[in-house]
Amino acid sequence: MQPEHSPLPEAAIFLEASKRRMSIWRWADYFDSVPDAVQITLGEGDTPLVRSKQIGARVGLNNLYFKLESCNPTGSYKDRFAATAISHMVAEGSYECVACSSGNTGSALAAYCAAVPNMRCRLAIVEPAPDGKLRQMLAYGADVFRVRGFGLDFQVTKDVFDGLERLGSLPGAAFQISAFKWCPKGISGVQTISCELAEQSDRPIDHVFCPAGGGGLMLAVARGFRLLEQRGVISKTPAIECVQPEGNDTTAGPLREGAKVAHPCETSTTISGLQVGTVNDGDEVIRECRPTGGTGHLVRDEDVWEAQAQLAVEEGIFCEPAGAVALAGALKANTDRELDRDAVVVCLVTGIGFKDEPSIDRMNSKRECGMVEFKEFATAVQGG
Ligand SMILES: Cc1ncc(COP(=O)(O)O)c(C=O)c1O
């Protein structure tokens, strides 16, 4: 028998608590949600917001923060998308997930499909996807295909999107891609990043630096903040800053130059996840972000690798190159004197380091792990 003072059976209390913690579903009023019974979760969201330990002080940014989306269950912010997208599929009775990805979306969808009995996951992956991401998708049991030229050749990429849209409209199937243009329900789950930031930050945030490939992430962050402002939860939406590699300038350049629309480009960046030459959510990103006071920032791949190494060595944050793009953009803006030194600046660290082995080798190119006798180790330690 329940004690009189307990309003809920214990299991229900834990259920309530688990919904409040460690899941995007506690923000169900802030995105396109589904009924409680079909809310799938692997504990995504509630990622840490940590203050910079060294980089901020070194470059003169007094309030630099990192939002560690790399802490999500499959290692990237895409879990917020996948949790929402697959829950909608269950709600609609669709059990054949057909998707394309540069890697992280595929890993996230593969994991969330694995968590739903009888849900199939078929993935068309860009040709240059890192092995670590492919191995992760395979481990979750998805059907994975790398498509020749996809992500490298503009026409092939466009044809893949068109073909997948057709396959996703077959009975029982659904096409999933983390972009508002095609999957507004699923990607709306990424708006929960803004809810968490509003909750986690003691002071109003002035700038949120976001990496952009197709632009879905940024658009979700901007829309999440707009909703919070409209509902009176925050007084002002931060400037949402768009950072892209120079070799994939669909949106950042046009946003900075005052253009109304994004433009397609031939991709030459090596940054996995940001090789998106088509304009997916770019036009909407420009429309939504310009009124926030945010602008575009273009960074070289070399700057991104440098930022990735700085995050590891100076902050203890291990991310993939795309996860360091926001910091590379903030550092450039700071060098160009576009940031107030006391501004509250948040950089989204969008993906974990483990999946992109070549980028780890690059960071470690001057370090080695020697095989020694223990006495040599002891001598090295005593030698200082
Ligand atoms: C780690 C990481 N960061 C950022 C992005 C960019 O997201 P979007 O294409 O929504 O702009 C991606 C996309 O795959 C990604 O994997």
Q: Are residues 309 and 326 in the same domain?
A: yes
Q: Are residues 304 and 257 in the same domain?
A: yes
Indicate if ligand 1 lies below 6 Å from the C-beta of 186.
no
What pLDDT score was predicted for residue 22? 78
Q: Are residues 139 and 226 in the same domain?
A: no
Indicate if ligand 1 lies below 6 Å from the C-beta of 321.
no
Q: Are residues 357 and 315 in the same domain?
A: yes
Indicate if ligand 1 lies below 6 Å from the C-beta of 215.
yes
Q: Are residues 204 and 293 in the same domain?
A: yes
Indicate if ligand 1 lies below 6 Å from the C-beta of 273.
yes
Examine the pLDDT at 4 and tell me if it is beyond 50.
no
Residue with tokens 């999107």: 161
Q: Are residues 152 and 226 in the same domain?
A: no
Q: Are residues 358 and 214 in the same domain?
A: yes
Q: Are residues 318 and 247 in the same domain?
A: yes
pLDDT tens by residue, 275-320: 988 899 999 999 999 999 999 999 999 999 999 999 999 999 999 9
> In which band, very low, low, confident or very high, does the pLDDT at 17 lie, cut at 50, 70 and 90?
very low
Q: Which atom of ligand 1 is nearest to the CA of 273?
A: 14
> What are the DSSP E strand ranges found in the chain?
49-51, 63-68, 96-101, 120-126, 143-147, 173-176, 207-211, 239-245, 296-299, 344-349
Average pLDDT over residues 345-371: 94
Domain range for 40:
10-72+188-363
pLDDT tens by residue, 60-70: 999 999 999 99
CA of 376 to the centre of ligand 1 (A): 44
DSSP states of 326-346: HHHHHHHHHHTT-S-TTSEEE
Q: Which atom of ligand 1 is nearest to the CA of 276?
A: 9
Residue nearest to atom 12 of ligand 1 (CA): 273
What pLDDT score was predicted for residue 7? 44
Examine the pLDDT at 268 and tell me if it is beyond 90.
yes
What pLDDT score was predicted for residue 1? 38
CA of 12 to the centre of ligand 1 (A): 36
Per DSSP, the chain holds a count of helices (H) and strands (E) of 15, 10
- In 3D space, the residue among 73, 75, 76 whose CA is nearest the CA of residue 40 turns out to be 73
Q: Which of 161, 186, 211 is the last residue of a domain?
A: 186
Indicate if ligand 1 lies below 6 Å from the C-beta of 101.
no
Full-model pTM: 0.93
| DSSP for residue 315 | I
Q: Are residues 40 and 156 in the same domain?
A: no
What pLDDT score was predicted for residue 77? 98
Whether 123 maps to a domain, the answer reads yes
CATH code, 105:
3.40.50.1100
The C-alpha atoms of residue 131 and residue 277 are separated, in whole angstroms, by 22
The C-alpha atoms of residue 67 and residue 243 are separated, in whole angstroms, by 16
Whether 311 maps to a domain, the answer reads yes
DSSP states of 61-121: -TEEEEEEGGGSTTSBTHHHHHHHHHHHHHHHT--EEEEEESSHHHHHHHHHHHTSTT-EE
Indicate if ligand 1 lies below 6 Å from the C-beta of 123.
no
Beta bridge partners of 126: 147
CA of 40 to the centre of ligand 1 (A): 22
CA of 20 to the centre of ligand 1 (A): 26
Q: Collapse the DSSP code of 228 into the 3-class scheme (helix H, G, I; strand E, B; otherwise coil) and give the result.
A: helix
Number of domains in the chain: 2
Residue nearest to atom 5 of ligand 1 (CA): 273
Whether 370 maps to a domain, the answer reads no
Examine the pLDDT at 106 and tell me if it is beyond 90.
yes
Q: Collapse the DSSP code of 375 into the 3-class scheme (helix H, G, I; strand E, B; otherwise coil) and give the result.
A: helix
Whether 383 maps to a domain, the answer reads no
Residue nearest to atom 13 of ligand 1 (CA): 273
> In which band, very low, low, confident or very high, does the pLDDT at 12 lie, cut at 50, 70 and 90?
low
Q: Which atom of ligand 1 is nearest to the CA of 320?
A: 1
Indicate if ligand 1 lies below 6 Å from the C-beta of 132.
no
Indicate if ligand 1 lies below 6 Å from the C-beta of 277.
no
Helix, strand, coil: what percent of the chain each, to 5? 45, 15, 40
Helix H or strand E encompassing 217: helix 216-230
Whether 269 maps to a domain, the answer reads yes
> In which band, very low, low, confident or very high, does the pLDDT at 384 lie, cut at 50, 70 and 90?
confident
pLDDT tens by residue, 226-267: 999 999 999 999 999 999 999 999 999 999 999 999 999 988
Rg (C-alpha) for the chain, rounded Å, is: 21
Selected residue with higher pLDDT from 256 and 128: 256
Whether 384 maps to a domain, the answer reads no
Query: Per the structure block, which two tokens stand in for 278?
Result: 């088509």
Q: Are residues 58 and 205 in the same domain?
A: yes
Whether 239 maps to a domain, the answer reads yes
Q: Which atom of ligand 1 is nearest to the CA of 104?
A: 16
